[in-house]
Structure formats: C-alpha cells, structure tokens
C-alpha cells in the first residue's frame, strides 16, 4: 500500500496564485522510497525462472545425455557424427535423406537408422514440449 506523504507535509496555499509553499523539512520522505513491491515482484520473477526455466534446462540436458548414451549403446560413432545426429534429431525430429547423404555417407544406413531410432525413442520419452527441445537444439548449434 503506498504511503500517503501529504499527511506528513505542512504546506500553505496561496488562494490568489495557487502556489504551494512547504514549511517543514520533507527530504526524509523522498530520500528512501519504499521499494518493497518492486523487490517482491523481482523475487517472484527470479523464483519463477529458477523453478521453470532452470528445471526445463536440466531436463533437456538429461534427455540429451540419455540420447547420447543410448546411441552409443547401439553403435559408437565418431564424435562429430554423434553431435550432428543428435542435433538433427532434436531440432528436426529425424535425419532426412538429404542430411544422411551429406553428413553420414560413410556410415551403414542400417546402423544409422538404428542409432536414430534410439535417439528418437529417448526424445519421445521426454516430458518437455517438442518446441522447447527444438529451440534448445537450435540454440546449441549457434
């Protein structure tokens, strides 16, 4: 609730000109404003960010690590191939034939399909919205 400062101010008003003259010292009323509502609002936003955004980020990282582990259980690919495969699966939802031809020409298509399936299964088990996973994957690419 805002403080009504005019209760603490002694003033006189000239009825002819409308000028107001303050007769007491009012500097203390303005020197330290009550910023409690602002601080409470900021606290709520930080708390919301921690509970929602940081939690989502951790779930995403756990899903990404789980997908990488499952991919490696099927077949351990060279690191650049693993990263590209995971980024494509998280951002696009699959590895298109064009991307497979461009990035994975030296990998047996059956092996690639099995690894991709393991990653997609992990993504499907993730409780986060698909749009969030895509945004995180695209952010990782940058």
In a domain, 123, yes or no: yes
Domain count, the chain: 1
In a domain, 1, yes or no: no
In a domain, 43, yes or no: yes
In a domain, 91, yes or no: yes
Select from 10, 140, 3 the least CA-distant residue to 63: 140
How sure is the predictor about 139, in pLDDT bands with cuts at 50, 70 and 90? confident
In a domain, 62, yes or no: yes
Q: What pLDDT, on a 0 to 100 scale, did the predictor assign at position 8?
A: 77
The mean-pLDDT minimum among 37-51, 66-80, 88-102, 128-142 falls in 128-142
Q: What pLDDT, on a 0 to 100 scale, did the predictor assign at position 6?
A: 60
Give the residue carrying structure tokens 């993504």: 123
pTM of the full structure: 0.67
Give me the domain span that covers residue 56.
36-141
> With pLDDT > 90 as the criterion, what percentage of the chain qualifies?
58
Indicate whether 30 pLDDT > 50: yes
Indicate whether 60 pLDDT > 60: yes
In a domain, 27, yes or no: no
User: What are 11's two structure tokens?
Assistant: 């003033």
In a domain, 98, yes or no: yes
Q: Calculate mean pLDDT across residues 11-29.
A: 85
The answer to whether 133 touches 90, Cβ cutoff 8 Å, is: yes
């Amino acid at each position: 609730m805002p403080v009504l400062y005019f209760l603490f101010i002694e003033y006189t008003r000239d009825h002819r000109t409308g000028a107001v003259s303050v007769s007491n010292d009012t500097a203390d009323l303005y020197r330290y404003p009550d910023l409690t509502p602002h601080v409470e609002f900021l606290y709520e936003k930080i708390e919301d960010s921690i509970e929602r955004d940081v939690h989502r980020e951790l779930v995403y990282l756990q899903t990404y690590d789980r997908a990488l582990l499952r991919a490696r259980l099927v077949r351990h690919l060279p690191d650049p191939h693993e990263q590209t495969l995971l980024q494509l699966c998280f951002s696009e939802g699959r590895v298109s034939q064009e991307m497979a031809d461009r990035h994975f020409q030296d990998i047996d298509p059956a092996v690639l399909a099995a690894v991709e399936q393991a990653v997609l299964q992990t993504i499907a088990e993730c409780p986060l919205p698909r749009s969030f996973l895509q945004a995180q994957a695209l952010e990782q690419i940058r």
